[in-house]
């Protein structure tokens, strides 16, 4: 029996990840015709069509779906075996890391992180991108190195995670808002007009779940996809925003923040990364820097002043 061409594993991995001959060809820097020939060889070798046309696109066969994770792991293991082991020299490290972060992370922790990165590894550049939705594909294919956010059911089960900090929701209104005066109660809070933050466009959230046992329901008049947008809206209106306290520290400048007059929902903001980079020395160093930046921002005097200014 002849030895199979193991280079086909890389081609198969990319084809199954992209689901497109053209995109796979572009990623491997091949011509579309060369990629089509490679797909034909794969079909002959495996005895399965692997990808079949459905409308204008391609969909995987059951055999291809079965192979996807196994092939990806084989390719990752092979890359790890062939990668030279070298001691990390931060002063000589030249690399761009892509961090996908939720709204407010850059504003509150980005400066401290960049300062530490520049001090320890001046050749490293950070690229921050927003995440319009929860999905693991970008971490899996390596287009994103590290992600921060709340772990949900849609987070890939294979991802590595580490808690960064715990956060709680607080209320925020403009200076001079009627809610800034007199005693705050759950009823007064619920009776106001609210802006809801939901990347998925949902019409209820954690605050509504906390109000329900009290028999209260708030009026949501606007839904936005980020904390910055919510806080921008309330600056010029009588709307009320409910946002994570630590995650929006700098965003809430010149606004009135107050503790919610009921059990405030809490969240845990975590680091997420794919196992393929778990042992990479540079990536491990980056994760250490992110943790340190978050801890440093929380300990800064101006941050503590914002926290102590929250009215209970």
For the chain, 312 residues long, give each residue's pLDDT as a single digit of tens: 467 788 888 999 999 888 889 999 999 999 999 999 999 999 998 999 999 988 878 899 999 999 888 888 888 888 877 776 668 899 999 999 999 987 788 888 998 999 999 999 999 999 999 876 666 788 888 889 999 988 876 666 788 999 999 999 999 999 999 888 878 899 999 999 999 998 877 888 999 999 999 999 999 999 998 898 999 999 999 999 999 998 888 889 889 999 999 998 888 999 999 998 998 999 999 999 999 998 876 555 444 444 434 433
Is the distance from CB of 278 to CB of 271 less than 8 angstroms?
A: no
C-beta separation of 103 from 148 below 8 A: no
Provide the CB-side half-sphere exposure for 295 (13 A, CA): 9
Cα 271 to Cα 253: distance, rounded to the nearest angstrom: 26
* Structural domains in the chain, sorted by start: 7-82 (1.10.10.10), 90-151+276-302 (3.40.190.10), 166-267 (3.40.190.10)
Kindly state the tokens that stand for 213. 């046992």
**What pLDDT does 311 receive?**
38
Give just the sign of the alpha carbon dihedral 17, 23, 28, 34.
positive
CA dihedral 156, 162, 166, 171 (to 10 degrees): -40
pTM above 0.85, yes or no: no
Q: Measured between alpha carbons, how far is 111 from 105 in angstroms, rounded to an integer?
A: 10
How far is it, in rounded angstroms, from Cα 120 to Cα 207? Answer: 41
Q: What is the pLDDT of residue 122?
A: 96
- Please name the residues in contact with 39: beta carbons below 8 A apart, sequence gap of 6 or more: 11, 15, 21, 50, 51
Q: For residues 13 and 119, give the distance between their C-alpha atoms in angstroms, rounded to a whole number.
A: 38
Residue 303 is predicted with a pLDDT of: 45
What's the angle, vertex CA 105, arms to CA 115 and CA 88, rounded to 5? 45
194, 274 contact by CB (below 8 A) = no
What does the pLDDT read at residue 150? Answer: 84
Q: How far is CA 154 from CA 101, 135, 151, in A?
A: 16, 6, 8
């Amino acid at each position: 029996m002849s030895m199979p061409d193991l280079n086909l594993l890389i081609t198969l991995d990319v084809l199954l990840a992209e689901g497109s001959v053209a995109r796979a060809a572009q990623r491997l820097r091949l011509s579309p015709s060369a990629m089509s020939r490679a797909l034909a060889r794969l079909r002959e070798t495996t005895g399965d069509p692997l990808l079949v046309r459905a409308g204008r696109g391609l969909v995987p066969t059951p055999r291809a779906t079965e192979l996807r994770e196994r092939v990806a792991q084989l390719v990752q293991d092979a890359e790890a075996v062939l990668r030279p082991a070298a001691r990390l020299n931060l002063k000589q490290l030249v690399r761009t890391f892509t961090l996908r972060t939720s709204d407010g992370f850059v504003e509150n922790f980005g400066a401290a992180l960049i300062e530490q990165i520049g001090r320890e590894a001046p050749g490293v550049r950070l690229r921050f991108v927003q995440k319009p939705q929860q999905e693991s594909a970008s971490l899996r294919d390596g287009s994103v190195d590290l992600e921060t956010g709340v772990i949900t059911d849609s987070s890939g089960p294979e991802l590595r995670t580490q808690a960064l900090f715990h956060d709680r929701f607080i209320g925020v209104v403009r200076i001079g808002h009627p809610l800034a005066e007199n005693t705050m109660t759950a009823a007064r809070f619920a009776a106001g007009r609210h802006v809801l933050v939901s990347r998925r466009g949902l019409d209820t959230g954690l605050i509504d779940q906390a109000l329900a046992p009290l028999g209260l329901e708030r009026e949501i008049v606007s839904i936005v996809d980020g904390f910055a947008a919510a806080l921008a809206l309330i600056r010029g209106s009588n709307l009320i925003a409910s946002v994570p306290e630590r995650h929006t520290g700098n965003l809430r400048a010149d606004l009135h923040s107050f503790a919610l007059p009921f059990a405030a929902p809490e969240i845990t903001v975590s680091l997420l990364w794919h196992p393929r980079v778990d042992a990479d020395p540079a990536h491990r160093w980056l994760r250490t820097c992110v943790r340190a930046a978050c801890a440093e921002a929380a300990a800064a005097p101006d941050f503590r002043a914002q926290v102590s200014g929250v009215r209970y």
